[in-house]
Structure 1
């Protein structure tokens, strides 16, 4: 599963106007960015080897780059967080997602960018069919 696949799925949740992966210069307001998080630990290989391993995981950071109003940015981030918290029956590029683990208890306020646009971050781990 690639970041572009996750970005395309996030679009379907109905929060945000612009969606991207990686660094984007001159981000537009009401944007959602999807980034790879640093993996931790070793590869999750089942006892018996790779042929016995049924799942894989992807650690993702979602940046909510919203507008110049802290309350509106918080509302958008909470709306996305709530949707992620309640998703079921997810299928991304033909792979079943078994579980979306939210790795933070709420969207993290990371302040503003150089243009005064407020941002929040959601960390999650997706466990999916290998």
Structure 2
């Protein structure tokens, strides 16, 4: 199983010096990335014979890039993370082999600012991982 905490550890390694968290965090610090479960649609991955015979599964996540009050710096941080994810060529997270990362948006989505005027972007992606 690939957990949000596993993914948090991976993302923390590629956004050096930033705060990376899972779940709701009140009073988010600037230069933070939040990892959230994202609901999918459709049936679960199911091979003939049942779930135990499936060789892979999917973990759908949403990344919230909560950066700072400078829109240009915030956009740059979001696009840097997006490019790093887009260019992964080989990956295991812990003992879990990642077969594929599917970016579900063509670019980071600008979601405006929070109540404190900090710019935020969202990236949706799916991790296809071996069981």
Residue 83 of structure 1: aligned partner: 84
Corresponding residue for residue 11 of structure 2: 10
State how 1:55-74 maps to structure 2 within 5 Å: 55-74=56-75
- Corresponding residue of 2:120: 119
Task: Measure, in 2, the Cα distance between the counterparts of 1:67 and 1:14.
Answer: 15
Structure 2 CA distance for aligned equivalents of residues 113 and 71 of structure 1: 16
CA RMSD after TM alignment: 1.1
Count of paired positions: 130
What TM-score does the superposition give when structure 2 sets the normalisation length?
0.95
1: distance between equivalents of 2:21 and 2:15? 15
Structure 1, unmatched stretches of 5+, are: none
TM-score (norm 1): 0.96
CA distance in 1, matches of 2:40, 2:66: 24
**How far does residue 16 in structure 1 lie from its aligned partner after superposition?**
5.3
Q: Secondary structure at the match of 1:124?
A: strand
CA distance in 2, matches of 1:16, 1:80: 13
Contact 1:66 1:117 (C-alpha < 8 Å) held by counterparts: yes
Call closer, same or farther: CA 1:120–1:71 in 2, change over 3 Å.
same
Number of the residue aligned with 1:128: 129
Which structure 1 residue ranges, 4+ long, deviate > 6 Å from structure 2? none
Rounded to whole Å, the distance in 2 between the matches of 1:124 and 1:97 is 13
CA distances 1:22-81 after superposition (whole Å, capped 9, x unpaired): 100000000000000012111110123223210000000000000001111000000000
